[in-house]
């Protein structure tokens, strides 16, 4: 033991560490569970890459425009129109089509 190190098989935490963990657990229970985040809320979201990957999983040769059209729902168009009305933007300036033509 000439190296000056003393090794034991015990784990050592400071006395305050358990208090910190207990406090964090209590705070987490007060806040409640974390909500599930949608995929497009993440920083590394790439819509074009997601569409390409989806078409590859289907093993079909589907154009990107067709996939974009397929994923547009009527409720999304209604929400966009409502947002544009609130912002006083003319409603005919965007090009959103319903996916009813694909059915």
Neighbours of 88 (CB within 10 A): 6
- Model pLDDT for residues 31-68, shown as the tens digit of each residue: 998 889 887 788 778 888 888 999 999 988 888 888 88
**Tokens (6 digits) for 33:** 């569970």
Segment (H or E) for 39: none
Query: Model-level pTM greater than 0.85?
Result: no
- pLDDT at residue 37, as a whole number: 86
User: In percent, how much of the chain has pLDDT > 90?
Assistant: 9
């Amino acid at each position: 033991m000439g190296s000056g190190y003393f090794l034991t098989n015990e784990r050592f935490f400071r006395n305050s560490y358990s208090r910190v963990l207990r406090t964090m657990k209590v705070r987490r229970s007060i806040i409640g569970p974390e909500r599930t985040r949608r995929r497009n809320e993440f920083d590394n979201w790439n819509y074009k890459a997601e569409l390409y990957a989806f078409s590859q999983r289907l093993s079909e040769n589907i154009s990107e425009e067709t996939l974009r059209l397929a994923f547009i729902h009527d409720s999304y168009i209604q929400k966009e129109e409502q947002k544009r009305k609130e912002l006083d933007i003319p409603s005919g300036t965007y090009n959103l089509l319903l996916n009813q033509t694909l059915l």
